[in-house]
Chains A and B, each alone.
Chain A
Amino acid sequence: MANTKDPFEFQEFEEAESLLEETRDATTINIDDVNEFRKQRRPGRDEVEEDLLANDDKAELLSGQKKNAPFWSFDYYQKFFDVDTYQVRSRIIGSVLPWRGKNFIELYVRRNPDLYGPFWICATLVFAIAICGNLSKFLVNLGSPNYKYTAEFGKVTIAATAIYSYAWLVPLALWGFLLWRNSKVMNLVTYSFMEIVCAYGYSLSIYIPAVVLWIIPSEGLRWFSVVLALCLSGSVLLLTFWPAIKDDHIRVSIAFMSAIVVLNVLLAVGFKAYFFSSESPHQQTNSSSVVTLVQSKPHT
């Protein structure tokens, strides 16, 4: 295209298209062309780069923002609160209805363990136990002249410690144990720590109506509801954890299962004994009359 004219001379330039037509093999860049280029390459798909890019996008979309955030960041915990109301409701119902062959974790929790349920069920249970224990003590002692009502607020702390350690330490122990056994015996089913916490947290939900029932100061009703709650939650837990341990040595399996059951029983009976002790008013008046007798002695 060498114009032999003087390059410093003023020249009129023609329109761009006519210039381009002159030199068709010139490299021109046009935004629309780039899109055409990409569209043409996609059906081909042999370039590794293109594949990687597409896979990255697809992976981002499919995994639903399961980013690998470090555990001290807010985003890490956000993925444990990715539940809707109906999911929480169905998990609570599923945790109290043991169905043979159906595994709580497999059915409800798989791949989406949440921390909402365990945390708020434990919080509700703490306050339910403190309040209902207080109410039941009030009702048991109603009519007795020496009883002075106190709110017993210190029991909330005790209840909170007991419940939260049950809901966190026991799953930790179970998970550690399962991890150790997995290194020795190949198990088909493995549960992550969050899934076990989820199972235990939701299994405590049956105790909330049970605790409300315990307000009524009838021993028979109380023991009946304790046994019922134990059976329901215990059986759900057993059905959940059996697949994780059944491939193991028979003694280990039995020990594991009985540990779960024993801990559950201890929790329920401990609550009943500590918070809902049913001393009759008759016994209380006896003890207080002994106290007044001792106090009056120095006067005589």
Chain B
Amino acid sequence: MAEADGSSRAFLGLSDVSISEDIPVEGDISMPPTSSSQDDGFSTLDEPVKDTVLRDLKAVGNKFVHVLYPKKSKALLRDWDLWGPLLLCVTLALLLQGGSVDSKDDGGPQFAEVFVIIWFGSLIITLNSKLLGGTISFFQSLCVLGYCIMPLTVAMVVCRIVLLGGSGTVSFVVRLVVVCASFGWSTFASTAFLADSQPQNRKALVVYPVFLFYFVIGWMILTFAPAQ
């Protein structure tokens, strides 16, 4: 009894901490009925293929329109896709073929070189902006850089048409103007989307590689000389 007293004295304080016993603990472990079923309520397996394809095409086309009229829109950043960049890259690389194919002199870039420059360049720029502390995600940045190649692809088409008419000085001047304008447009469009994600005192550090990237692509377009 004495020991019980002693031990109870040691634990004297604990008994003063009162755990109220009148608040019942109850709950429900089951998950709430899935509200996510509304999201994929129409699973793409149930709809005709035409609908699926058209929906994706509409998204791609929507982004092309955003590049044409660049304003700071979140839609381009949020729903990224890489179909548009792939399409543009392949088109550009194909149009840059068929140049002067002298077997001795090296002519324009090969298909693989264009591909590598565009994708590797976009990758390096994205890594650069992330390392500098940017908040944009990896694929979003690739998406923006790829879509902003569109003005340059349009310029390539225009250049090829102009070259059909001859390759004198006049055609060169026209091509120069078109390429310069589209290069400026591309750079402006991509900085409108990318610059916001950088801290203030590093914006120039992020914009410069984009400038270099589109400059090199513009150079490839301008120096395209068709086979005669």
Interface residues of A (CB under 8 A from B): 1, 13, 16, 19-20, 23, 25-28, 74, 77-78, 80-81, 83-86, 88, 116, 120, 123-124, 127, 131, 134, 148-155
B97 CB to closest chain A CB, in angstroms? 12
Residues of B within 8 Å of A131, CB to CB, are 219
A20–B16 CB distance below 8 A: yes
B18–A154 CB distance below 8 A: no
Within 207-228 of B, Cβ neighbours of A (below 8 Å) are at 208-209, 212, 215-216, 219-220, 223-225
> Are A123 and B212 also in contact (CB < 8 A) when A78-B131, A85-B204 are?
yes
- Count of B residues near A, CB < 8 Å? 37
Residues of B within 8 Å of A134, CB to CB, are 223
A153–B12 CB distance below 8 A: no
In terms of DSSP, what is the predominant structure of the interface of chain A? Answer: helix
Docked Cα-Cα span, A78 to B130, in Å, equals 8
Docked Cα-Cα span, A110 to B125, in Å, equals 26
A208 CB to closest chain B CB, in angstroms? 12
B108–A148 CB distance below 8 A: no
B205–A152 CB distance below 8 A: no
> Could you list 24 A-B pairs, sorted by A, with CB under 8 Å?
A13-B18, A16-B18, A23-B13, A23-B16, A25-B13, A28-B13, A28-B17, A78-B131, A81-B128, A81-B132, A85-B202, A85-B204, A86-B201, A120-B208, A120-B212, A127-B212, A150-B108, A151-B109, A151-B225, A152-B105, A152-B106, A153-B110, A153-B113, A155-B106
Max chain A C-beta neighbours (<10 A), residue from B130, B204, B205: B205
Docked Cα-Cα span, A77 to B128, in Å, equals 10
A294 CB to closest chain B CB, in angstroms? 15
Docked Cα-Cα span, A153 to B208, in Å, equals 23
Given A148-B225, A150-B105, 17 more A-B residue pairs with CB atoms under 8 Å apart are A1-B15, A28-B13, A28-B17, A77-B131, A78-B131, A80-B131, A84-B201, A85-B204, A120-B209, A120-B212, A127-B219, A131-B219, A149-B223, A149-B225, A150-B108, A151-B106, A155-B106
